[in-house]
Amino acid sequence: MSSSAINLKGAIGKDALRNLIANPAFDEWSRGLSFDVSAAQDTINLTNGPDNWFIRYFPDDGTTTDNLILEKKKHDIGQTLVEGNPVYYTRIRNGKITTGTDGNEQITLSQRIPNVRLLQDETVSLSFYARGGTSGMKLGVGFQQVFGISGGPDEFGDAGDASDPVTVQGQQVSLETEWARHRLRFNIPSITGKSIGTSGSNYTELNFFVQAGETAAKTTFRNLPAAVAYAGDTLDVANVQLERGVDTSTFENIQYSNTFAEMIGAQVTAIAAGQVTKAAPRASDALDISTYADITTLSSGNSFYITLNDQNDSSGNNILKFGQFYNADIVTDPIYIVSPSLAGHRVASPSQDIESLDVFATVVDGDKRVLEITSFNELDGGDQNIVLNIFAIQLGVAANLFAGAIESSGPGASDSTGDDDVPGADGSDIEIDDGKGCSTCEPL
């Protein structure tokens, strides 16, 4: 019998879909083309950069004189040192941390690969191109298994405790001022005997260590062979590939495969669903959920405004959300349905029927993350604002925008709970796991 007509490997090549890294050639930067990154002492800042990648910036008790700059750069036309004729690469510069007493400062360029089960008990090969601003510049590389966050029991009644993170023995490479490909192998440990939390995401995290203090390098958290010094010089990274096995193969960039993009079509970048009881009175306040008030207290019959990135732990609305709604040219306007919510809706007369309840919405001009809503109840000839239900999705083109494990409401935000794998959900400082065991905080 012949093989299936839909055969990904056969359709695109024998070894297609081997690269486990998303946005591996740094083509997609839906949040901007450059980012300034800084942090106060004792604070970890997780800042999104190119799609699916983020910077971890942790001065600990050290000091800084300028911000780290993360930016999108173009390869020279006609260059041949980096295979595959890529267009872009990532540059990191500035932001040197002067070592403090603890020696625990860290700067990483990182990506989280969802599902800690995916690579457990595997030998993996990592390859990437890199160059430094000075010859002999060091770059650390390592992996960490993260088992989620402890929570309540799951649907089977199993405990929701999360094991402490496990750090794979790291490695270090020496860079030159010209592009060179580096090939490393890692043994990812088995997770037999571990517990995966029922809250938050579990993942295997890839870290490129731009800087790591002496203490940070030696702890079981980072497990590097030596400290990684950084003088603030430029560091360029391109064409990252992670694949199972001991062999390193030709670089694969799915985002540049039109055949693959056309086959899988558009990708859902976000979904939001639930009941809206609070909103902002003005469009200019919609992204600031601290301004939200009960809909029924706003001016009767007037429009009010909500952000589709709302979550119930922030505004008081009962919204469940997956992914991130973007205000970018590479995504479409959200698709949404709004309807009256009879639950929690108080009417003047028990006999009032549903025909008197009306809800309308439109995307605010210039911002795909915000809806303008008119939701009213015709009472005694007037209009009374009412609560409503909402369901919204946003689609991005698979070849251009991949909804990653790391999302935020903006560059520089941080996650204090760890239960959302979203640096930037609330803008607060994150709780640091100092190696003494912490099943409810962000791994250092």
Confidence bin at 354 (pLDDT 50/70/90) = low
Strands 442-443 and 432-433: parallel
**For residues 82 and 130, what is the distance between their CA atoms, to the nearest angstrom?**
9
pLDDT at position 16 is: 57
pLDDT tens digits for range 377-426: 776 555 678 889 999 998 875 433 333 333 332 333 333 223 333 333 22
Tens digits of residue pLDDT in 315-338: 788 888 877 788 876 678 899 999
Q: To which residue do tokens 């780290």 refer? A: 68
Q: Answer for the pair 47, 34: CB distance below 8 angstroms, yes or no.
A: no
More confident residue, 2 or 163: 163
- Burial (CB count <10 Å: 0-12, 13-18, 19+), residue 246: exposed
> pTM for this structure?
0.63
Residue 66 token pair: 């300028």
Q: Whole-angstrom Cα distance, residue 162 to residue 160?
A: 6
Region 37-65 average pLDDT: 92
Q: How far apart are CA 78 and CA 426, in angstroms?
A: 44
Q: Token pair for residue 323?
A: 């992914």
pLDDT digits (tens, 9 = 90+) for 119-147: 999 999 999 999 999 999 999 999 999 99
Written as six digits, the tokens of 15 are 């070894």
CA 273 to chain centroid, in Å, comes to 20
What pLDDT score does 248 carry?
A: 79
Give the β-pairing of 203-212 and 106-114. antiparallel
**Contact yes or no for 278/298 (Cβ under 8 A):** no
Give backbone dihedrals phi and psi of 130, rounded to 5 degrees, phi first: -155, 155
Spell out the SS3 assignment of the chain: CCCCCCCHHHHHCCCCCCCCCCCCCCCCCCCCCEEEECCCCCCCEEEECCCCCEEEEECCCCEECCCEEEEEEECCCCCCCCCCCCCEEEEEECCCEECCCCCCCEEEEEEEEECCCCCCCEEEEEEEEEEECCCCEEEEEEEEEECCECECCCCCCCCECCCCCEECCCEEEEECCCCEEEEEEEEECCCCCCCCCCECCCEEEEEEEEEECHHHHHCCCCCCCCCECCCCCCEEEEEEEEEECCCCCCCCCHHHCHHHHHHHCEEEEEEEEEEECEEECCHHHCCCHHHCEEHHHCCCCCCEEEECCCCHHHHCCEEEEEECCCCCCCECCCEEEEEECCCCCCCCCCCCCHHHEEEEEEECCCCCCEEEEEEEEEECCEEEECCEEEEEEEEEECCCCCCCCCCCCCCCCCCCCCCCCCCCCCCCCCCEECCCCCCCCEEC
**High-pLDDT (> 70) share of the chain, %:** 76
The per-residue pLDDT of the chain, averaged, comes to 79
155: confidence class by pLDDT, cuts 50, 70, 90: low
Tokens linked to 36: 């300034």
d(CA 392, CA 378): 26
The whole-number average pLDDT for the span 44-68 is 92
The span from the CA of 142 to the CA of 206, in Å, is 6
Instruction: Round the CA-based radius of gyration of the chain to a whole number and report it.
Output: 24
What type of residue sits at position 260?
A: F
Q: Residue 137 corresponds to which tokens in the numbers above? A: 């510049």
pLDDT above 90: residue 111:
yes
Q: How many residues does the chain have?
A: 444
**Predicted pLDDT at 355:** 54
Pick the more confident residue, 403 or 24.
Answer: 24
